[in-house]
Amino acid sequence: MERRVIDMEKDPRREQFQLFSGYSFPYAGVTVQLDVTALELRLRAEHKPIFLTMLYVIHRAVNRVPELRRRIEDGQVVEYDECPVSFTEMKPDGSYAYCRMESARVPYEDYIAMGRVQQAAARQGGTIETDRRAESPSIFASCLPWLNYTSLTHPACTPADSNVRVSWGQLFMRCGMTQLSVSIQVHHALADGWHIARFYRALEEEIAALCPTEENQ
């Protein structure tokens, strides 16, 4: 990963950075319900995994927003060219382990294949032991497939870290459409509602790219 230090004294969000850096809980987050009808139909027809597919599009969408690739490290703001994703995998005993995907700059099919390898390894002997690599600049991803929720707050360490956290819930039907709740939590010193909106726009575009129609082929 390549990285560059951001001079926050010259950054447009200098005042916001100074303000929210001092908060004990400096996070902002929202949950948005997305229309995934076309995606769910494709995955069902092709027997593709919804979890790894959502991980792929989320991994790509987060990295499309520069502010979501920024992290606070040793008092400096650092922007990475790409952030890996750390995600959870349930083990046979009901506990879970951490997995890691370094890059989403690969074809969809390759990402799914690599993700399955990571999941299998985690189920067999994975742990939640913190790896120094996993601390920054990670995207933390998880899924609650048992719940259709409207709000979610992620746990965070002390002192506050600046990793982006994304989760999604159970598929549900509404007005004839298949929908999915997707939550994101960001460090408010680095990003705000505009950047969150850009993430959701990018996410919708990444989902659409997996579901080509006659109009955009």
Q: What is the pLDDT of residues 173-189, one digit of tens each?
A: 999 999 999 999 999 99
Predicted TM-score (pTM) of this structure: 0.94
Residue ranges and CATH numbers for the domains of the chain are 3-209 (3.30.559.10)
Q: Is the pLDDT of residue 60 over 60?
A: yes
Distance, CA of 186 to CA of 23 (rounded, Å): 13
Residue 82: strand, helix, or coil? coil
Q: Are 149 and 172 in contact (CB under 8 A)?
A: no
The DSSP element (H or E) to which 121 belongs, if any, is helix 108-125
Residue where the block lists tokens 């792929």: 56
Number of CB atoms found within 10 A of residue 34's CB: 18
Give the pLDDT confidence score for residue 128 in this predicted structure. Answer: 86
**How do beta strands 76-80 and 70-73 pair?**
antiparallel
Sign of torsion over alpha carbons 42, 44, 49, 51:
positive
Q: What is the pLDDT of residues 143-177, one digit of tens each?
A: 999 999 999 988 877 778 999 999 999 999 999 99
Residue where the block lists tokens 């040793």: 74
Distance, CA of 23 to CA of 184 (rounded, Å): 19
Q: What is the mean pLDDT of the chain?
A: 93
Q: Are 111 and 49 in contact (CB under 8 A)?
A: no
| Average pLDDT estimate for 4-21 | 96
Among 157, 137, 156, residue whose Cα is nearest residue 84: 137
Among 43, 34, 17, 3, residue whose Cα is nearest residue 202: 34
